[in-house]
Structures are given as structure tokens and as C-alpha cells.
Amino acid sequence: MGAGPFGFKGAGFAPMRNPLRRYYGLGDLHFVTFSCYRRRPFLGKPGARDRFVKLLDEVRCRHDFCVLGYVVMPEHVHLLLSEPAKSSPSKVLQVLKQKVSHVLRKKPRRRPPGQLTLGFPDDEAAPAAFWQRRFYDFNVWSAKKVRERLEYMPANPEMRPPLPRRATPRVIKNAPKISVMR
């Protein structure tokens, strides 16, 4: 048995390689949750959420899976989705997170030559990442569990401070196509 965290030996620490177990290929639905880096509200503006939903639809079409419900909160996302025909939910979420990160973190357009800049310091340095690593995945194998997850999603915002009325998340039940949140 090797050294555990911080070099401790014999303290009951076992090396953790990858303790996550994901169960794919069983035909189950997957209820996944993933968060913005350090729970920052990167999806807090309606335009960011709309862009997320548009990119989700693009990834859904490309990887051939169904989205039964979703909720986009300022700092995290819940999706209820089927297994993709050509890949795994892990691959789909990797592609989705990369696309969203790339689009929403684009640098602002360059200023025309000769335009003066204001000398205000940046409020906060750009974060190191857009998304937290990994995601929570729950296999949904029964109609009862599907109902529970679909009911949980719209109730989720009530656990946090209320969102502005325009930002209220929508759950689309049994919809192969995604509607943009409005």
C-alpha cells in the first residue's frame, strides 16, 4: 500500500484512481448534473442560457439522443437524456461542455486602431475554467424515476434565491426537439 494524501502512510488511505462507475449501454435514461467552475453564475444571463440551449440542440442532433427535460440555472445544469446512438453520455457531455466554454468565453472584439481605452482595472481575472470537472450521473430505469426527475427539475430553483422572472427555467417533457428558453 503506497503513501496516501500528503504522504501519510498506513493511515487507511488507499490510492484513488477513478472511483466513479458509470453504467452505459443498458438503455437507461441518464439524469446528469454539471456545474460551472467554482459554482460561478456563468449562465446567469438570458443570452448565455439561450446560447447553451442552442448548442445543446446542435450536440443532440449530431450525436442522436433525446432530451426529455432540462433546466439551466445560473451556475449549474440538469439534463434528462437518453443514451446516444453513436457514443456515450460522457462523450456527449464532453463535447457540449467544450462547445459552450469555447463560445461563451470568446474574447471581446478588438478595438479599432486609435480608439482610447479606459484605465479601469479588471474586476476579476478570467477564471481558469468554465466548467467543474466531471458530472453527476444517475441512471433512470423506471417510469417512476423519470417522473421524479422531471418534477425535481422545475422545483430546483426554489431551493435557491429566486431568479428574475425572465430567467425561470423550463422543462420540456418528452420533446425530441428543444425549445429555446424565453
The tens place of each residue's pLDDT in the chain, 182 residues long, gives 455 555 545 555 556 566 667 777 667 899 999 999 998 999 999 999 999 999 999 999 999 999 999 999 999 999 999 999 888 899 999 999 999 999 998 766 667 777 777 665 554 556 678 999 888 888 898 999 998 998 888 777 644 444 444 444 455 443 333 333 32
Helix (H, G, I), strand (E, B) or coil at 19: coil
Whole-model pTM: value is: 0.68
Q: Which amino acid is at 101?
A: S
Q: Which amino acid is at 48?
A: A
Phi, psi of 88 (to 5 degrees): -115, 160
Domains of the chain: 24-104+130-182 (3.30.70.1290)
* Rounded Cα–Cα distance for residues 57 and 67 (Å): 9
